[in-house]
Structure 1
Amino acid sequence: MNVFFIRLVVGALLLDPVMSSGSGKHSLWVLASYISGPTQFPEFTAVVMLDDIQVRYYDSQINQLTRVGGGAEKGAGLDLGQEGAFILQEIFSNLRKRLNLVKDQMNLTAAGVHVQQRITGCELLPGGQPAFIMFRDGANGQDADSLQYNTTHFAYAAAASWGFSFEAMKQTYLQALYANIYLPFCARALRHLLDREKHVVMRRVRPRVRLMTKQVVGGARLTCLATDFYPRHINLTLQRDGVPVDADRLSGGSVLPNGNGLYQVRKALTIDGEELRRKHVYTCTAAHLSLDNRLDVRWRAESLRTHRVHVLSVPAVLVVAAALLMVLLWRRGAGSEAVTMETDEQTITDPQ
């Protein structure tokens, strides 16, 4: 997955609630790449995402749809007849044709390595009705054109630097194609995969919430962390004495993948020494679909303890060394007189 796909997928995850079952909507995405030129990669690959979970993989070398996590299912294995195989082959052929157009338009050498990519997919509303389908293409990491269709309107856009454009007749044909073939097929595939993979996309994993403190120069840094939760939608807030901390004082806040199919998010606040001395109570609160109630973790600020290293001058060092030598000589003399001294050990608590 190169920069083009990373930009599209990360943007969708951060901004679009369709990518997660937490919103009640569900989506199906295909991330496809066609590569021309000498590489060790397959000529064509496609990754199938159900909401934010990768569930299937296809490439032109194995020529079959593989279930992520083990097992292989050919196109018919999805109970969608020949439509699934036909659409994958149509994407393959269309990306190859488009890349040839790009190379001609941009006067690119045929001997180099070039990549044409597409993200395409659809969404279902909470009631299960299809609502939206789209594709967006890029060549060599740059946006080319995009198409969106829902039940109320059709929109097509092309980057100014690319030569892709459709006249009115072509756009009418594409609208009929997406309305009568692609959107119904995508909706059926989405419902089928939801039934197959509901144990993954419908799961609820409780977040682990912690408040961590770290001493920094002039104060402390307080971090509110929620980790290992699913789905990705979460409301994480940091409060001081029951009042939300201003957003402009916080850093972080983006929900990020954990690398294990779960998510994490953190928000951090820097507290100066004066604020610490006021001994406010800070509360990290998480609201998530897996929780019946909000999850609160509290921390009370304490006065700042500074740890200074005092640099002694050379005369002072000599005085200290002489004093230590006298103490050692005195103890040795006391030992020779066989006098036993007992001391009481006390624990002194810092009044701060």
Structure 2
Amino acid sequence: MRSVVLLLLGVHLSYAGRHSLQYFYTGVSGDINFPEFTAVGLVDEGQFMYFDSNIMKAVPKTEWMRQNEGADYWDSQTQIASGNHPVFINNIQVVKERFNQSTGVHTFQFMVGCELVDDVTTGGYWQYGYDGEDLLSFDKNTLTNIAANPQAVTTKNKWDADRAQSENRKAYLENICIEWLRKYVSYGKNTLERKAAPEVSLLQKDSSSPVICHATGFYPSNIMMTWKKNQDDHNEDVEVISTLPNADGSFQKSISLSVKPEEWKNNPDIYRCVVQHVGGEKVVLLNEKNIKSNSASNNIIAIVVGCLVALAALALIIGLIVWWKKSNGYGKASTNDSDSENSGQPLPKA
């Protein structure tokens, strides 16, 4: 039976004119089936370039990058990423020694990014982490680094003494990053500024499982999903799952509701999933006819899993995004004491 989906009129989410550029670098040490080093570039949280130490080549991930940048650009990206590969592996060893670690899987991570809202710069961040936790941060206003733990103090002092490096970082965040963000947005304007409404479904594995409200296919990534009981927000027994990328560049997100089946089966339409997005706002009533059957929901879940498998190379990057959001986003530096410590400039060529 057809699901009853109500379209809310007159509700707007203002995300137009917001754009971001981010680079995530990850070095991995230990017995794990994952490239030793990866570099990923994102515009508006969608991947546009990728490099790893297995393929040893920077490659475009969007058609608008393929059409607008030629061999010279990709050669330069490959050289930058290839040069940072041994630096990151060395950094892991340095930090492992700082933490008195000799075995296990460990990650050394770098994030840098900037943002524009209505063509006005809103800030930037330069961050390093280790094993998913903050390590060092760069404050572009004071040109100093902030150590998140005692193990990072030695590197903080070293980086603080290098004024030229700090000035370069500040210039990158305030100028170079912004210039390239504007250029990339101009390349992919039709794609990056589109508004695709979410497709919303209610899924349930079995009668005793939580009901999942699943939104997919939407763009941009900003979305609000809530469960309501009658007309009030219902926050108890609710779990929000992070927004994830789909293989086609769109996004998906889910929010689950764990209540006794008889509570909503005996009170049809008392619960509803409300999805607000700039491309379209929808409400799906929680009743038996709107929940996908076991076979249908399994098919949808298989599609979702298939998308995630296709994005397997982003597994650690998704973890980085979680770390970035948890870190509140702005600031971090680097951590290596060797002469090969060039990770202060692990930037794509401008």
Give the structure-1-normalised TM-score. 0.58
Q: Is contact 2:227-2:234 (8 Å) kept?
A: no
Structure 2 distance, partners of 1:166, 1:29, is 26
Determine the structure 1 residue equivalent to 2:118. 127
Q: Is contact 1:117-1:137 (8 Å) kept?
A: yes
* Aligned amino acid, residue 184 of structure 1: N
* Aligned amino acid, residue 150 of structure 2: A
Structure 2 distance, partners of 1:132, 1:24, is 17
Matched, 1:270 2:256: no
Matched, 1:244 2:244: no
Change in CA separation of 1:258 and 1:124 when aligned onto 2, cut-off 3 Å: closer
Deviation at 1:271, TM superposition (A): 4.5
- Aligned sequence identity (%): 19
* Aligned amino acid, residue 252 of structure 1: E
Determine the structure 2 residue equivalent to 1:203. 194
SS at 1:98's partner residue? helix
* Aligned amino acid, residue 157 of structure 2: F
Change in CA separation of 1:93 and 1:195 when aligned onto 2, cut-off 3 Å: farther
Determine the structure 2 residue equivalent to 1:77. 73
Determine the structure 2 residue equivalent to 1:231. 220
Q: Is contact 2:271-2:285 (8 Å) kept?
A: yes
Determine the structure 1 residue equivalent to 2:25. 32
Q: Is contact 1:27-1:121 (8 Å) kept?
A: no
1:236-267 per-position Cα deviation (integer Å, ceiling 9, x unaligned): 233344x224311x322224426434213233
Q: Is contact 1:64-1:75 (8 Å) kept?
A: no
Structure 2 distance, partners of 1:40, 1:169, is 36
Structure 2 distance, partners of 1:274, 1:104, is 55
Q: Is contact 1:95-1:117 (8 Å) kept?
A: yes
- Which sections of structure 1, spanning at least 5 residues, go unmatched? 1-20, 303-352
What is the aligned counterpart of 1:118 among 83, 88, 109? 109
- Which sections of structure 2, spanning at least 5 residues, go unmatched? 1-13, 290-350
Matched, 1:297 2:273: no
Q: Is contact 1:209-1:227 (8 Å) kept?
A: yes
Deviation at 1:160, TM superposition (A): 2.0
Larger radius of gyration: 1
* Aligned amino acid, residue 264 of structure 1: K
Q: Give the number of equivalent residue pairs.
A: 269
Give the structure-2-normalised TM-score. 0.59
Structure 2 distance, partners of 1:93, 1:74, is 26
Structure 1 distance, partners of 2:212, 2:27, is 43
Change in CA separation of 1:196 and 1:283 when aligned onto 2, cut-off 3 Å: same
Q: Is contact 2:244-2:252 (8 Å) kept?
A: yes
Determine the structure 2 residue equivalent to 1:51. 44
Structure 2 distance, partners of 1:181, 1:258, is 27
